[in-house]
Amino acid sequence: MRGRLFISVVALGALAPAVRAGERVTLRNGFEIDCHHHAQVNSQVRLYLSAGEDNYIERLPEDIASVETVPDPPTPPDLNKTPPTASPQASADGKLSPADLGEMLNKASNQYKLDVDLLASLVKAESNGNARAVSRAGAQGLMQLMPATAKEQGVTDSFKPEENVRGGSAYLDALLTHYHDNLVLALAAYNAGPEAVAKYHGIPPYRETQAYIARVIHEFNRRVLAREAIKKRAAQVAVHQGNPSR
């Protein structure tokens, strides 16, 4: 696994137990943005996409209708379970079992040296795990590949889960390489296209794109924190078992 596991990019720091839950900001136009925390800076309100101060979206105070704390959801399914030998198949409603989805994500994670929780967060934001999802713009499958992007990545059928995840992971890998492992810019390009990122010299001023980045990073943070909590508990159990007198 290459060094870009993105824990530092999303500013999880030392993964201290005091990390705050996320926040959901509702704008006066009804649009919602999930962020880690917010703060007033000069005449703007900054919506921080992670625990650090580097990645944020700015809004005018009068644009904000309310801010609510979002409690951490239950621990996600273990994506490292022993996968089935059969080829993953989606059900009639396009959903895959957690084991099948985990198999594909782990395979792509190993192939492209991407954090499996990042890929899982992308799938959740793009299709919510629906292998047959189609957007209004024509993006298809689990990782919502546009036909031209799918063709570039050698995907012949975007509705085949394994092909879609491989193609989406390859595309994300290429974007991260292009943007020197800047996760925020890579996500912006994945959603709005590299041309839009180049045009605005950074995150495009599109509400959909800004909300998309916030959703992916918030979900990624949550998954990494849950993963680290599981490891910590396992280590504590191991220490206890090794020292039964404690």
State the Cα–Cα distance between residues 186 and 164, nearest whole angstrom: 18
Of 95, 118, 96, which is closest to residue 106 (Cα–Cα)?
Answer: 118
Tokens of residue 90, six digits: 């989606």
Pairing of strands 22-27, 32-35: antiparallel
| Burial zone of 45 (CB within 10 Å; 0-12 exposed, 13-18 middle, 19+ buried) | buried
**Cβ atoms of 66 and 244 closer than 8 Å:** no
Q: How far is CA 72 from the centre of its chain?
A: 15
Q: In what order do the strands lie in the sheet with 32-35?
A: 32-35, 22-27, 64-70
Question: Is 162 marked active-site?
Answer: no
Q: Which of 23, 103, 126, 219 is catalytic?
A: 126
Structural tokens at position 129 = 């795990």
Token duo for residue 147? 């036909």
Q: How far does Cα 60 stand from its chain's mean position?
A: 26
User: Alpha-carbon distance 123 to 106, whole Å?
Assistant: 13
What is the β-pairing status of strands 64-70 and 22-27? antiparallel
Active site residues: 126
